[in-house]
Amino acid sequence: MEGTCPLRSLSILCVTVLAACAPRPAAEYAPTSPAAHLQTLYVATQKALDHTGWTFGAKRTGQMRYFRADISIPPTHRAGHVEWPEGPPDAATDFVVAATDVYPSSAQFLADVKEARPGRETQVFVHGYNVTMSEGLYRLAQMREDFGVAEPSVLFSWASAGDPRGYVYDRDSVLYARDDLEDLLGRLTSGADDHVTLLAHSMGAQLVMEVMRQAALKGDRQLLDRISGVVLMSPDIDPDLFRRQAEAIGELPQPFLIFVTQQDRALSLASLITGRKKRLGVIDGPEAVAGLPVKVIDFTGLADGEGLDHAVAITSPSAISVLNGMLEQASLGRDAFEDYMVLTAQP
């Protein structure tokens, strides 16, 4: 990143390498608690479902698989947090898997997703770099809980290595995943009134932009017109590349929101790896997106250090509170989002 201290970047890199040697937490089954709240997730994944553990689903398989998971949220849950168990999982205090069901075909998966919709809208979440299946599941469940999401949520779990040393592997995996995500979105929007909202984090934003660009180059405006909104959180994209992608897409879905945090330490590392150029998720002014029909929201003032400040909008309790208020204003038909907004902590 421009202006990033080399020693600071080196320290982040050292911490990342050390973290790669430590086992990651894994989603575990446990009986649910009467006081817990269940969140149902639908998962479309390129990952294998043949074993569990923290390496679960780490390899590319060349085919899509589909399942449903009921995630139990503990009554002690705090906004922005995923309560991983520190010992045997306990639904009274931890996120746990209450039930899963693997679909024999994509047709049954799609039928269940569409049947679960109160309207004709589906939320699709695309995770970022260095994310295991377990982490993607629990993060999406946490977001649904904290933001009161009503429509069904689909996790598109692409073949991230789930290893901080696998940055280049993951960038290749994003390209590998384009056709499968485009096919999924096409199927979810196959009905006359079907729509999807796209929520992407980090490197997942690159995947979403590539899929929309690919659809535009094919002339598939039907798919693009049925995307009812896009949110890119901490996008790990070169700003110049983002502009070219947006120009190729043409008319961008609206609303189109970009969440940034200037002290995002994960994107500082990405900037170091990719040549010390700022990523889109750490821009500090509107110049990088000038002339594009997008709205940028800067969450720097609400960061609390959680998760390297790489997902402040969904991990900081203050940010969640502010964003929920803004979403409520938008649902009432009010213009809650300016073209470039810098959020500050509430007194």
Which of the four pLDDT bands, split at 50, 70 and 90, describes residue 51?
low
Which of 177, 215, 304, 201 is closest to 257 using CA atoms? 201
- Mean pLDDT over residues 295-306, rounded? 96
Contact criterion met (CB below 8 Å) for 314 and 293: no
Question: What is the biggest distance separating any 2 CA atoms in the chain, rounded to whole angstroms?
Answer: 55
Q: For residue range 251-300, what is the model confidence (pLDDT) as tens digits?
A: 999 999 999 999 999 999 998 888 878 999 999 999 999 999 999 999 99
Q: What are phi and psi of 259, to 5 degrees?
A: -100, 125
- The percentage of residues in the chain with a pLDDT greater than 70, rounded to a whole number, is 90
How many CA atoms lie less than 13 Å away from 152 in the CB half-sphere? 25
Phi-psi region of 198 (alpha: psi -120 to 50; beta: other; left: phi over 0): beta
**Would you give the DSSP letter of residue 99?**
E
pLDDT given for residue 21 in this prediction: 47
Positive or negative torsion for Cα 129, 131, 133, 139:
negative
Cis peptide leading into residue 23 (ω within 30°): no
Contact criterion met (CB below 8 Å) for 208 and 197: no
Domain boundaries along the sequence of the chain = 6-342
Q: Identify the three-state secondary structure at position 70.
A: strand
Q: What are phi and psi of 233, to 5 degrees?
A: -100, 125
Spatial separation of the C-alpha atoms in residues 213 and 217, rounded to whole Å: 6
Which of the four pLDDT bands, split at 50, 70 and 90, describes residue 16?
very low
Q: Which CATH number fits domain 6-342: 3.40.50.150, 3.40.50.1820, 3.40.50.10490, 3.30.70.120?
A: 3.40.50.1820
Which of the four pLDDT bands, split at 50, 70 and 90, describes residue 119?
confident
Spatial separation of the C-alpha atoms in residues 347 and 342, rounded to whole Å: 16
